[in-house]
Amino acid sequence: MKKRNFPLPVGCEAEIAKYYDVNSATTRKNPPIAWLPPETIFLSEYGISSDIWSFGILLWEIFSFGEAPYHTNTAKEIEGHIRQLKCLEQPDCCPGAIYNLMLSTWHKNSRQRPTIMKVRNKIEELYEGIAKVDMTQPADTSYIVLEPNDYNEVNF
Count of domains observed in the chain? 1
Residue 145 has pLDDT above 90, yes or no: no
* Average pLDDT value for the chain: 80
Residues 6 or more apart whose Cβ sits within 8 Å of residue 4: 18
pLDDT value at position 9? 56
- 61 or 14, which is more confident? 61
Residue 82: which CATH number?
Answer: 1.10.510.10
pLDDT for 24 beyond 90 = no
Res 146: pLDDT: 56
**pLDDT higher for 10 or 77?**
77
pLDDT above 70 covers what percent of the chain? 63
Query: pLDDT of 1-12, one tens digit each?
Result: 555 555 555 555
State pLDDT tens for residues 39-75. Answer: 999 999 999 999 999 999 999 999 999 999 999 999 9
**How far is it, in rounded angstroms, from Cα 64 to Cα 92?**
8
Query: How many CB atoms within 10 Å of residue 25?
Result: 19
Query: In the predicted model, is pLDDT for residue 16 greater than 60?
Result: no
Query: Would you state the pLDDT for residue 7?
Result: 58
Whether pLDDT at 26 is above 80: no
- pTM of the entire structure? 0.69
The parent domain of residue 42 ranges over 3-153
* Residue 134 binned pLDDT confidence (cut-offs 50, 70, 90): low
CA distances from 130 to 51, 95, 100, 127 (A): 26, 11, 17, 5
Identify how many contiguous H helices and E strands the chain contains and give both numbers: 6, 0
State residue 129's pLDDT score: 82
